[in-house]
Structure 1
């Protein structure tokens, strides 16, 4: 695939002198992956500046460079004051095909489940649908890992082009604060957008909460076209501001939740493996049985339903589809149970709010004790650690503090920050040993929740990723326990 440089720059960028007929064969952000004829995007970053690697990119065959004004290079330089936004626009022209309907979901928690539920609803209606986000690219035929909630602009537009080429007409995708602030999603043609909730996260990257909020809101203010629908869950402290922002951007707001006006939750009745939900859709009472546990899954499922209706599906068929939903990997995922019926559940909860929602979701379905195994990630917002410890101390019956992904930090110091706010917790640094201890404690009526890693299959310690398949580990440890009984 090759494109004339002049064709992919568009009207907002000037073609470098003498490069009017230059042909670009590819796009690259990593100088090590540059191939002959590529455009190399030398973007200023948080930790490194891409301009440091221009020489390497040229040595590898870069035909031109995208960079801030004033950058010198031995090949033509496309100058852009906002090079990240310019790269997204270039990528959208280089990879021009996109699914006809793209739904984007932002918020702190619930994005992965919401986009996957929307994909399932669309697929159940006979549409060629896919979901893109933390779990990778998911289709009815299976899942492909991508490694990021929101891929970089080049990878994203390459994926959109490929999915459209494979016949996908409906795509549900996550919109992370990093991806939105860094313009990775710019150029994606959004037809419906949504907000789940907003709580503390990523303050290691964002200078303050207002910046985090503003980054999320770019979905509504910069990406979603005026006149399209925005589904807003009204049960977050920030929901009123989100609704105001969306309306000011010319979007048609569909409000949902306990405080929703368009889709209002009336009552939730928990059952052992499901929940009965009574709600009103624009005044008409509805009653469904959702085959998932946890009130937060109700919010995710109803958010997906509202987006599906906004995309053109008939409301009653959408609500019927909710009764056939299947859960997402690593989100309240059943990993096994003891012979006495005590379940072990895995969840990706890694923020104070996520942990709060997980524990509150499990309580109505648990007759005995909730035993919680959890930790916190290294090289991330340290203020989350005592907050998570306080949530665990308040809502779990037994707490075991262990390692999550310590990355470059000292694991013991991370655990100490959690334990300071979680008196009475047991400290077991080795994650498998902590899980074993939790399983050994299980009595009839209890539930073991293992939080933090969810769908992840590795543990990041220092600079290494150590294989850590939690479902397989749980299955083996349960088998060992049953073998001794």
Structure 2
């Protein structure tokens, strides 16, 4: 294993092909005689194959993964998981290796890898968090709450992966099934006793979390996003519900019921007779957060009230009502995971989340903030939070991503123009689309707001940020929204170095 990646265990438990077939329904053993061959790893990427691996060759949109088996086998892979078409391609290429057959191998990547790595999620307390907004912030807060107990912790999510305090490179919010089980096994090997991960709707719909046991599952909220992948909000909700209902459902659920989607999720979970705890900031629930006091430095104090008259005072170092909801949810998640509330509250007090309402200070006399808000509801929430922190004006630099939900583009413009004095529409990650067409949709939404803020269009994101900084005066707010922690801007398939935090800092320094 390459040093320092931590993406796999150094000493995997391993399993024979026969053991995999016995534990994963639909898998059969074919090809060369496997005997007592032990599989010590699993990967769906031939370029990442290591000696002893099971190479998982799944059909792709253009090419079958079995076409890459030669590279994987040359790197040391000793067996292949594939479908009948893949097996035929292996034979055609002259590969005489043990083959694990399944009609839909992609659907069992997680379960197969879990057997190979010794069911690692069952050997720690694993928390899964899903929802549209708040997953990253809540997961950071939960990690801190779990760590308050003193044991090593793990984190998997949008900003990155961390194992016992060490950062690990990853690319997806929820990694593919083989990579995910490898990370779990690495965590267990390094003494992690509790971990938290973000669980995306894509991951649930694609069964990337198959073979994973979630001790606690949590739901933040639901609003429009990913409708490029999910045809309707109902389909989006159904994907999220897979964490709470049916095969593979979490053992205990903590659901925020501040919106109607959370209320529905709780009702479905309750009707199924499964363990459930609800959290709210705006209505009745098992645990409620109230008596909120917001301070000028962005911190907030609130009281968490629970069953049997329990009350706890907590502080979260992030502004906004939605962060009180995130913090309350995190505390109850930690409580359900076995952490005393007093310890959990101590843990979350000083947490900062990269690119989430992140202040950039260079001695200026106005507030400059970078936030990941790339959904209409999230943009609404962060602008409302900043409005409560200033008597001045607000400028928002905003765009929308290419090759993603087109329906939310005008809504992003509408959200910004409805609440800010200046909206500068710029490029986000255009990806393979025409940036001007994306901007036009955002501009149209912004200019449709009666009595809304001034709208300017500047495609160059660096220039747009500089324009907002130049416009600001004492007591104002500049919000650069949409990319948050991201360190690149994707244009025509190329990711160019670009970090909103660095660019905003540079613009502030240039103004000074």
TM-score by length of structure 1 reads 0.92
* 295, 310, 317: which one aligns with 1:291: 317
Moved more, 400-409 or 11-20: 11-20
* Pair 1:429-2:459 in alignment: yes
Partners of 1:261 and 1:37 in 2: how far apart?
Answer: 50
Q: CA RMSD, aligned part only?
A: 2.2
Contact 1:336 1:474 in 2 (8 A): no
* 67, 87, 93: which one aligns with 1:55: 67
Q: Where does structure 2 lack aligned partners over 5 or more consecutive residues? A: 1-11, 448-453
Partners of 1:38 and 1:347 in 2: how far apart?
Answer: 40
Partners of 2:105 and 2:306 in 1: how far apart?
Answer: 44
Partners of 2:507 and 2:158 in 1: how far apart?
Answer: 27
Partners of 1:145 and 1:391 in 2: how far apart?
Answer: 34
* Pair 1:208-2:232 in alignment: yes
| Offset at residue 217 of structure 1 (A) | 1.1
Matched position secondary structure for 1:113: helix
Contact 1:192 1:311 in 2 (8 A): yes
| Offset at residue 337 of structure 1 (A) | 4.8
Contact 1:191 1:225 in 2 (8 A): no
* 497, 502, 507: which one aligns with 1:467: 497
| Map of 1:188 onto structure 2 | 212
| Map of 2:200 onto structure 1 | 176
Q: CA offsets, 1:154-173, max 9 Å, x none?
A: 11111100111111101011
| Map of 1:123 onto structure 2 | 147
| Map of 1:84 onto structure 2 | 106
Contact 2:489 2:497 in 1 (8 A): yes
| Offset at residue 286 of structure 1 (A) | 4.1
| Map of 2:158 onto structure 1 | 134
| Offset at residue 82 of structure 1 (A) | 3.6
| Offset at residue 249 of structure 1 (A) | 4.1
1:243-262 to 2 correspondences below 5 Å? 243-257=266-280, 258-262=282-286
Q: CA offsets, 1:383-415, max 9 Å, x none?
A: 110011111111222111111000000101000
Q: CA offsets, 1:38-77, max 9 Å, x none?
A: 43323245x445x2x4133135425443233454231454
Partners of 2:294 and 2:362 in 1: how far apart?
Answer: 19
Partners of 2:267 and 2:293 in 1: how far apart?
Answer: 32
* Pair 1:481-2:511 in alignment: yes
| Map of 2:387 onto structure 1 | 363
Contact 2:41 2:117 in 1 (8 A): no
| Offset at residue 461 of structure 1 (A) | 0.6
Partners of 2:273 and 2:162 in 1: how far apart?
Answer: 31
* 99, 117, 134: which one aligns with 1:95: 117
* Pair 1:110-2:134 in alignment: yes
C-alpha spacing 1:129/1:56, structure 2 compared with 1 (3 Å): closer
Matched position secondary structure for 1:400: strand
Partners of 2:343 and 2:71 in 1: how far apart?
Answer: 57
Contact 2:411 2:445 in 1 (8 A): yes
* 7, 13, 20: which one aligns with 2:19: 7
* Pair 1:145-2:159 in alignment: no
| Map of 2:350 onto structure 1 | 325
Contact 2:163 2:187 in 1 (8 A): no
